[in-house]
Amino acid sequence: MVNPVNFDISGWDISGANLYEAACRSHVLEPTLIEQLKDDLSAITPMKAILNPDFIASNQADRADNVRTGTNQELIDMIRKDIRDCKARNDKVIVLWTANTEMFLLPEIDTMDDLENRIKTNQALPASVLYCIACIQEQVTYLNGSPQNTFHPAIVQLAEKHGSCLAGSDFKSGQTRFKTVMSDFLIGSGLRISSVVSYNHLGNNDGKNLSEDKTFRSKQISKAGVLDDAIKANPVLYPEGKDKIDHEVVIKYVPFVGDSKRAMDEYSSQIFLNGTNTISTYNICEDSLLAVPLMYDMIVLGELFSRMQIDGEKMGPILSYLSFFFKAPITNHGEYVINSFGRQRETLTNLLKVASGIMPDDTTLLSFKF
């Protein structure tokens, strides 16, 4: 695996602030630490980004002072040039989308012909799709950390054609990761979850962008899907016709709390003789500081998986073993999606053990002779 110490960190941003200015603005790191790193952080400035403002909240307009303009093809070519410049300085390039949540692009782009036509005729496309196309054409791995539907069927086909790797979507760092643990625990215990209500408020720019309905809807869809796998996997508790539960997600923008996100959940389950069991949780977390270590993990593992072969065959185009890190994981086989904390972690660690020549976990404990 690559050593994260050897990373050359660069990227695009619609805001032209250097990393020192951005760190001061965000109020996430301690001021004393930021000042110690001032010279290093000030030297890192973002490349000009591409942006389709129609797909993000209008309240982001005041940040957009570092934006390129052009046709779809011109913008893709600009991003490809930036990637080639990064390739010239490094052994390998990985692109990780950590930008604003965009609204869903509907209807989905189903065919390559449709995709090519939208590019040529300069139809409205979200920035994430243009970045993704550029990455695929440059054969660099693209990891989607936001919930919008960047990976349309035509995008996946394009990645397969170019031998590129994709993974996503939407980082699973705090409340949603805990929700996958709780669904494992409750349904695995034979308790029928009947209602899950999740409330969040946060004050960082992510919260500001999600304060508009068109972008919030993408996040709502992503967060809502995490229980689907656990429900589908247990037809005894959830027989056909009774496989729907009350699941609500609320996100509110409260500037005062900054990056310190508040997450409240209520899990109500049906128990013996129509009784009810309710578990309520309250979690305060630093949103960015939860996410960044996961970014490092998925870059390290994504780089490894882009090199791995199984029986002479490359993995991909979807690196589904990275599903552990995403709220709404996509796979190469749509009929087989795992969205369970325990199963995702077991699958990932056992793959790494096999690749290292170590026997995968045998949870039967038969070697101990009962």
Is 327 considered catalytic here?
A: yes
Which residues lie closer than 8 Å to 182 by C-beta, 6 or more apart? 265, 267, 279
Pairing between β-strand 47-50 and β-strand 67-68 as defined by DSSP bridges: parallel
Going across the sheet that includes 67-68, the strands are: 12-13, 47-50, 67-68
The CA-based diameter of the chain, rounded to the nearest angstrom, is 69
Is 219 considered catalytic here?
A: yes
Closest CA to 58 of 182, 211, 186: 211
CA quadruple 71, 75, 81, 84: dihedral sign: negative
Q: Are 101 and 146 in contact (CB under 8 A)?
A: yes
Q: Are 97 and 145 in contact (CB under 8 A)?
A: yes
DSSP three-state, residue 214:
helix
Q: Which of 219, 223, 265, 287 is catalytic?
A: 219
Is 179 considered catalytic here?
A: no
Residue 72 burial (CB count, 10 A): 20
Indicate the DSSP class of residue 326: B
Is 87 considered catalytic here?
A: no
- Token reading at 247: 């699941």
Q: Would you call 234 exposed, middle or buried from its count of C-beta atoms within 10 A (0-12, 13-18, 19+)? A: middle
Q: Which of 82, 261, 265, 287 is catalytic?
A: 261
Q: Are 198 and 263 in contact (CB under 8 A)?
A: yes
Residue 50 burial (CB count, 10 A): 23
Which residues lie closer than 8 Å to 156 by C-beta, 6 or more apart? 166, 317, 318
For residues 178, 202, 298, 29, the Cα torsion angle rounded to the nearest 10 degrees is -120
- Rounded to the nearest 10 degrees, the angle between the axes of helix 213-224 and helix 175-188 is 30
Q: Which of 82, 170, 206, 229 is catalytic?
A: 170
Q: Which residues are catalytic?
A: 170, 219, 261, 327
